[in-house]
Structure formats: structure tokens, C-alpha cells
Structure 1
């Protein structure tokens, strides 16, 4: 015979089962909460062979204000979903104050908040988390939501909607196929697609591209040079100056701030190699750049998020002379004054070819990934097509009025 609760004469066992199934959404307020926030994907994706576990220290740094320069111009609230004591979902709601100052025609602008870092066991959990994020944004005066953007536009924007069948490269996201339906059923519509391209870099480029490169090499006004890591700050300043000019009219552009630049430098310096980053000079003036990174995900995937006990030694050995299958091109830019000219594509082809050769000869790479590229970036999409690369992943950003 079941014991009865004396006060309301309800079934105690049934009552506590109900309480254990009740979904609670709570803000992240402690180190313990942040740890739970980071740990959740390790459980949700443990059977997904294409998910790459991030280093937990890096993931914690991303959501810790003191360790992420982006927080200097962001207002952020993280949320956890729990059923009983079990964490079953997470989401971030955030407002990039610099994004609020950007032209509305470029995607952000006044009243636009964002959400990201979303993972959930099921659609009911996701719906509750999204409602909490939207309520927080409304309370802050936001009238439109974009997502997922995790968390800065320079980190992992967009939801993976094509390309689940292979792992992401460094600084690219992964997601469960179910998430797309959950977001769209919540009333969100696609606003922008971000594309990555895959190519076999062991093969030479088509004859037309080779002729364009050869013509550029014969032009004494053009110099394609390697960066000098010994002058890291000076070279980074040159690249940043070109980037801010080249990308300033792009959808989603938000300028990088000094605290962010410092953080990016610390994170990326170990995988910066002189022959994989090129600056194009025209009559002695830097006018274009291309950054290529060896795919660090290939090295960290076996570590399952931890550098202990011997992961740090394996990673350090890899960083000294990486041998990888894949190289990723996360950023390329040509100054706006040249973007509508034939010279822009010529400089791009020349940099791509120089780095292609170095990637194969010095790092043993056989595959390249370019992106992400905005779906309406005709120049970059044309370059990717000309070198016979193929779309391998598509990420989608959604919007909804609040």
C-alpha cells in the first residue's frame, strides 16, 4: 500500500516523480553552473563521431567575462535547463553593444539581440530555453532576435544545416540535425547562410587560374609575402587594418576591439606559421591578406576535452611541426578600393596558390576548407568556384521579431 501525504492527501511517490520531471530554467550564476554549461555537450554528443570535443578550459574561457575580451562590449546571460538535478539544456542570450551601432541593412543595428550556445535534449527543453532567452532580450529593450550566434560573430555563427557527415574544422560549429526543425517551428526564418568550401589541394588549379597567377607573378608591382611571426603585433595590425576596410560593408560585420584582438592573438599564435599567412602588397602598400590555419581539431579530437594526463604533451609535440590532412582559410580580404577590379581576384589566386603549395609540401595536407563565406559574397563565391572547390557545409542564421 502506498504511503499518502497527510496534508493534501496526494500520492507521495507520484508527486515526487512529477517534481523530478518538472523542467526548470535558471540563469547561470556560479562557477559550478558554468562548468555544467560546458559539460552538457559532452553527454549530448558522446555518440556523434563527427563532433569535436572542445578543450574544456577554452570553452570555460569563452563564457567567463574576465577571460573573453568580447565581454568588454557585450551584455550576456547564460541559462541552464534542468529536470530534477539533471542538466538537460543550455542557451546564451546576449547583446553586442557594438552590433547595435551598425547599420540595420548589414544585419544588426538598434534593437537586435542574439542567442546562441544552444543545446537541448528535446524540443520541449529547447522551446523553454528559447523563451527564457527571448524574455531576457525583451526586458533589455530588444525588438528582434538573431540566432544562433555563439557568441561573437567572429566565433561560431549559424546553425549547421548541411554537412553533418564530417567533422568541423577549427573554429567552426557542429549541431544535431533536429535543431533546424526546432528553430523553425519556434517561428524563426532564415536570414543569412554562411558557406564553407572543400577542395583537393594536391591538385593544381585550372589552366585559366594558372595563367592569371603567372601574369601576376610577372608584375613587378605585386609582391606576395609571408608574415614574420617575430613581428607578430605589427603584422597583426596590418591584417586588421585591411580586414576592417575589406569587411566593413559585409552582413554581420562588427569591428574587433583591442581586448578581442589581444585574446585572439594569444589563442592563435601557437598555430600561426609564416608560410601559411600571406600579405599582398601593391607598389609597396599592403592591400590584401589570407590567413590559413592547420586544423587543430584533428589534434584535439582524441583528447576528449582534457589536456590531462598526457594530452598537453601530445598537443605540444603536434604544435611544433603539425602534420594535418586539412588546412582552413578562415579569413581573406582585399581593400575595398580594389574589390570591383580584376586585380582583386588575381591577388586572391596568387595567395591561395602560394599557401596551397606550402600546405602540401611542408605540412602534408591534402584538403583545404575555405570559409565561412556569405551566400551573397559574389566575389569570394566566384573565386571558390574558379578553383573547383565544392560546398561542404552550410550554416544558417535565423531571425524573429520579439
Structure 2
């Protein structure tokens, strides 16, 4: 991920990595990130910091943040935002509540003191990111509300839409369909950064071995994809128990668990609909699909998010379906 030669993020971005040492021992780390694509899209001069890890020590945190800030100023940027590792398409935000629960796949985690260190270093809230949960992780799927099932069926009939799972035998073509949809579906979101074709290809190659087709519904109208969702099995359950840190033979256990439906937790990572079809309830239809299809193969608990704090429609819809906020992440800004 950090390799400038292998990660297509660096086709349009630069990064510099810093570590802080005390008496010869590493006490913290940080990355300073200049993302040209972000600044072209938003017409601003925002730089980012990410991969932020530090001891509970203000001078160490200040040294890391000031080093990253100096590098970003040298790139002509005027605001420092983060943490984002590398962008809002990746792990984003500092955890500000929900410390008593473990992180789900591809979500960050940190001790409570991180927010204090960042606030004392002059950072202020830019945006909160809400994360929802529903169900339990025992494999017992909560019953799907009858009203949600009925509403989904009526919406499909009224809008003339159909849903289907990811076609693994047609995986390359499915990725091409996502490319057409992704940037259009998310471009109006605060902080959005477009993904290039190479970035989507890179991400798809990482997901392919562990993706569950029934957890990736596509919405079609007249044969064209107008929306999709991506829910991934929460493999962090296995990574936490892999004390050696080695992927082999752990990966074999993970693949077998997926095949035999012994993973009971998932994270709804993406859910998007083309702008002209928003506000019609298609997001609820996608959630209903994941709830019913995932529940049928043992997924009894799901995390949804993150969701922007001011995305009123999405937040209200999740609450209406019985989801509850259980974590909050925060992106922070500081002038350079």
C-alpha cells in the first residue's frame, strides 16, 4: 500500500513518511499526503496527513504533525486535513467514541487520547463520520421487518428495477460497470475524491478472493446498472486471532471459513445510486437485499458506514430500518 511503485494512488499524488524517535526507539509515525486529484476536483489547496500513530506524548505528536505540515506547505498547500490514509477512499478519521468495540475490516482504531493530542495541536473538527450497527454476531439473523420487504417489492415494481448478485464468472466486466457508476454516484459527497480506473482495478484485485457475491447487489433498469452496494465479510475477526501476523496459513483458514459460512459479521462498505435515481428508496432496496441474502448464509451482524453526519436522508433511512450509531470518526483541519 505504501509503495510508490505499486499503488496507483501515486499516479496523481505524492507522500512523505516521517517517524519520531526517542532514545533510539520509535515513538510515532505520520504520512504527509499531497493529492493533486483532490485539489483539482475541489479547486482547493488541502493537504492530508495519515498513518498517524503516536504515544500519548504531546511533544512527539507535535513534532510529527509539524514535520508533515512543513512538507505540505512546501507543496503550496494551505490546509492540513486528516487523518486519511491516503484519502477519504481509504481509512479515514480519528475515532472519538465507540472505543469499547473492536475495529471492523478496513476501519481505523485508536486510543481516546488521539483526539486530545490533535486538538491541542490546533486541529478543529471538519466533519464527523457516523458508523451504524445492526443485529448480532452469533449467526442469528434479526427478522427483516415486513414493511421493508413490502416496500422493496413495491419499489422494484413501480420503478421497473431488478436486483442481482455479483457475477464472479464475469468479474472483469462487473468491475467495468462499477467504474461507470462509482464517481457519478459519490461525486456530490463532501470530501469525495474520484477514483481512477487503475485504482478501482487495484482495489478489485484485492477484494476478489474474499468477496461474497450475495453481499454485492447490483440494481439494473432496462439492462443498465444504476446502483450497487458492496458488503465485505469482517475478516478482522480472524486477523485479531492471527498472533503470528503471517498471512500463510491464515489465508487458508479465512477462505475455508468463507466457503463454509462461518463468518457472521460484515461491513457495508459502499452503497451508491446514480444521481437521477436518488430519493426514490433504492438505497433501502439494496439494504433489504443484503439483509435477506446475507442473513440466509449466516451474516447476523452488519456495520454500515461511514455516513457523513449531515447526510440526512441516509442517516434517517438507517435509523428507520433499526440501525443505531455505535462509533463516530472525525476528520480535522488545521491551517498551514
Give the alignment partner of residue 381 of structure 1, picking from 278, 296, 315.
Answer: 315
Q: Does structure 2 retain, via aligned residues, the 8 Å contact 1:299–1:315?
A: yes
User: Residue in 1 aligned with 2:51?
Assistant: 117
In structure 2, relative to structure 1, the CA distance for the partners of 1:206 and 1:96 (3 Å cut) is same
Q: In the TM superposition, what whole-angstrom CA distance separates every residue of 1:87-139 from its partner, at most 9, and x where no partner exists?
A: 11100001011011022xxxxx4321110111111222111111101111111
TM-score normalized by the length of structure 2:
0.93
CA distance in 2, matches of 1:320, 1:207: 30
224-233 or 304-313: bigger deviation: 304-313
SS of the equivalent of 1:67 reads coil
CA distance in 1, matches of 2:169, 2:149: 32
User: Residue in 1 aligned with 2:112?
Assistant: 177
* C-alpha displacement of 1:140: 1.3
**1:367 aligns to 2:320 (yes or no):** no
308-317 or 266-275: bigger deviation: 308-317
* C-alpha displacement of 1:203: 2.2
User: Residue in 1 aligned with 2:92?
Assistant: 157
259-268 or 315-324: bigger deviation: 315-324
* C-alpha displacement of 1:283: 3.0
Give the alignment partner of residue 395 of structure 1, picking from 313, 329, 335.
Answer: 329
Q: What are the residue-to-residue correspondences of 1:213-224 with 2, within 5 Å?
A: 213-219=152-158, 221-224=160-163
CA distance in 2, matches of 1:212, 1:360: 19
CA distance in 1, matches of 2:316, 2:157: 24
Give the structure, 1 or 2, with the largest relative contact order (CA under 8 Å, sep 6 or more). Answer: 2
User: Residue in 1 aligned with 2:82?
Assistant: 147
CA distance in 1, matches of 2:248, 2:147: 51
Q: What are the residue-to-residue correspondences of 1:30-69 with 2, within 5 Å?
A: 62-69=1-8
SS of the equivalent of 1:385 reads helix
User: Residue in 2 aligned with 1:37?
Assistant: none
In structure 2, relative to structure 1, the CA distance for the partners of 1:289 and 1:91 (3 Å cut) is same
SS of the equivalent of 1:134 reads helix
User: Residue in 2 aligned with 1:133?
Assistant: 68
Q: How many residues align?
A: 331
Q: Does structure 2 retain, via aligned residues, the 8 Å contact 1:328–1:369?
A: yes
CA distance in 2, matches of 1:206, 1:319: 27
Note the aligned Cα RMSD (angstroms): 1.7
Q: Hey, which of these two has a bigger chunk of helix by percent?
A: 1
Q: Does structure 1 retain, via aligned residues, the 8 Å contact 2:235–2:254?
A: no
**1:253 aligns to 2:188 (yes or no):** no
**1:299 aligns to 2:233 (yes or no):** no
Q: In the TM superposition, what whole-angstrom CA distance separates every residue of 1:173-207 from its partner, at most 9, and x where no partner exists?
A: 00110000110111111011111110117223444
CA distance in 2, matches of 1:258, 1:210: 35
Query: Is the radius of gyration larger for structure 1 or structure 2?
Result: 1
Gaps of 5+ in 1: 1-61, 104-108
Gaps of 5+ in 2: none
Q: Does structure 1 retain, via aligned residues, the 8 Å contact 2:94–2:329?
A: yes
* C-alpha displacement of 1:230: 1.2
TM-score normalized by the length of structure 1:
0.78
